Amino acid sequence: MRLLCAFVGGYGHFQPLVPIARAAAAAGHTVAFSGPPLMLPAIEAAGFPGFPAGPDFDSTGARKPLLPVDREREADDLREGFARRAAPQRADDLLPLCAAWRPDLILCDELDFGAMIAAERLGLPCATVLVGAAGTFVRPENVGPALDESRAAYGLPADTPPGMGARQLVLNPFPPSFRDPRCPLPPTARSFHTAPVPAGPRPHWHTEGRPTVYFTLGTIFNTESGDLFTRVLDGLAELPVTAVVTVGPLIDPAEFGPRPAHLHLARYLPQHEVLPHCDAVVTHAGSGSVLGALTHGLPQVVIPMGADQPDNGDRVTALGLGHVFDPVTVTPADIHDAVTSVLEDDRYRRNTARLAAELATQPPVSDTVSWLEGLLAAR
């Protein structure tokens, strides 16, 4: 099988596909990726050939002010950015790429509408991987009309009823009970589990008997966070914990000035190397960060800023997994008290342990290969 893995955004769209791609490669299949041009180094670092397609999203890395949470603005950005703008650009690039590389099957993230259009236009089977944990961000009534415009440009009929990404096979890496019950998984969905990497040697920052907290704002919204880093760092500074902080590759940790010795700042650390040594997390509620915390059974303090993060925050609250704060109004005292709460109140750890156990009972990622093979055989 020649498998083309396609994604439309940054790490949050790329990383959910990587375990499946590695499992397919380990089974002897030929695997390549196609993503935004700026993501080619990440693709190659993961060990796969990469082909550029479509636009880069906000490629400048310029710092932006923190905006109030606005779900309608985020819905507009999703519709205009992914369904109306990126979809035809991705399809335009993927059609000749498929003609040259000749994949048997396309596996794409759930927002790569251009890859779905290209697969349908070429008659290729197409599986999608969910990248939103809560499941409420990609609403058919929001993206449907724009997608139909994009489909029409390639001679495809309107997507009625909407759901072209769920027609064949949907792969879900999240605990099903984390998903908002208002948006149940489609009948074509199969849930799976990527086992966490075993904990390595004790890191240099680890202190025996002292809780460890991981803090990140991801790799996109970190540059749109205003003074949020400073406020959270100030709250962590007064706690008897070890805090491991990643600020992202485009931010210099030195800009936050001297910090107490128990705060360890870095541009980037692999999440799978940090989380096994942690007791709680403070994040922006990005789906990848939420999944990492759930996988390791860690209570959460989340500060959603945009995209699907507010929806994930809703589920953190509903399931009793931690505390949720507004990024504009959260104070250092809020962070201090919330981190203390999730570390000391066993209810949060019990609730998140329940979801970690649910996740661990899902089929292993290696099973996704046979599901993809079955999809190909059925066609």
What is the residue whose two structure tokens read 């099973």? 367
Residue 268 included in any domain: yes
- Do 374 and 333 sit in the same domain of this protein? no
Residue 94 included in any domain: yes
Q: Which of 272, 224, 233, 239 is nearest to 253 (CA)?
A: 233
- Do 303 and 253 sit in the same domain of this protein? yes
* Confidence bin at 203 (pLDDT 50/70/90): confident
Reported as type and span, the H/E element at residue 348 is helix 346-360
- Decide which of 47 and 200 is more confident: 47
Q: State the pLDDT at residue 329.
A: 98
- Do 318 and 370 sit in the same domain of this protein? no
pLDDT, mean of residues 201-222: 90
Reported as type and span, the H/E element at residue 33 is strand 30-35
Residue 201 included in any domain: no
Query: pLDDT tens digits, residue range 41-67?
Result: 999 999 999 999 999 876 556 788 999
- Decide which of 78 and 196 is more confident: 78
Query: pLDDT tens digits, residue range 227-254?
Result: 999 999 999 999 999 999 999 988 999 9
Q: State the pLDDT at residue 216.
A: 97
Write the DSSP string, 122-188: HT--EEEE---SSS-SS-HHHHHHHHHHHHHTTTPPP-SSS-GGGSSEEEE-S-GGGS-TTSPPPTT
Q: State the pLDDT at residue 136.
A: 95
CA 143 – CA 233 distance, rounded (Å): 38
CA 378 – CA 17 distance, rounded (Å): 22
pLDDT, mean of residues 91-97: 98
Contact 176, 191 (CB under 8 A): yes
- Decide which of 197 and 110 is more confident: 110
**Across the chain, what does the average pLDDT equal?**
95
Residue 203 included in any domain: no
Contact 334, 282 (CB under 8 A): no
- Do 124 and 21 sit in the same domain of this protein? yes
Q: State the pLDDT at residue 315.
A: 98
Residue 200 included in any domain: no
CA 1 – CA 21 distance, rounded (Å): 12
Q: State the pLDDT at residue 209.
A: 85
Claim: this prediction has a pTM higher than 0.85: yes
Q: State the pLDDT at residue 208.
A: 84
> CA angle 223-227-232, nearest 5°?
105
What is the residue whose two structure tokens read 């990248």? 131
Q: Which of 35, 140, 43, 53 is nearest to 97 (CA)?
A: 53
Residue 329 included in any domain: yes
Tally: H helices and E strands in the chain: 14, 13
Query: pLDDT tens digits, residue range 358-374?
Result: 999 999 999 999 999 99
Does the pLDDT of residue 338 top 80, yes or no? yes
* Confidence bin at 108 (pLDDT 50/70/90): very high
- Do 334 and 318 sit in the same domain of this protein? yes
Query: pLDDT tens digits, residue range 259-297?
Result: 999 999 999 998 989 999 999 999 999 999 999 999 999
Contact 231, 333 (CB under 8 A): no
* Residue 134, token pair as written in the block: 């809560």
Percent above pLDDT 70 for the chain = 99
Relative to beta strand 126-129, strand 169-172 is: parallel
- Do 229 and 174 sit in the same domain of this protein? no
Q: State the pLDDT at residue 58.
A: 62
- Do 151 and 264 sit in the same domain of this protein? no
- Do 345 and 369 sit in the same domain of this protein? no
Residue 206 included in any domain: no
Please count the structural domains in the chain. 2
Residue 204 included in any domain: no
The CATH number for 266's domain is 3.40.50.2000
- Do 222 and 261 sit in the same domain of this protein? yes
Query: pLDDT tens digits, residue range 120-169?
Result: 999 999 999 999 999 999 998 999 999 999 999 999 999 987 788 889 99
- Do 245 and 275 sit in the same domain of this protein? yes
Sign, CA dihedral 268-271-276-278, equals: positive
- Do 152 and 256 sit in the same domain of this protein? no
- Do 101 and 6 sit in the same domain of this protein? yes
Does the pLDDT of residue 22 top 90, yes or no? yes
Range of the domain at 17: 2-193+363-378
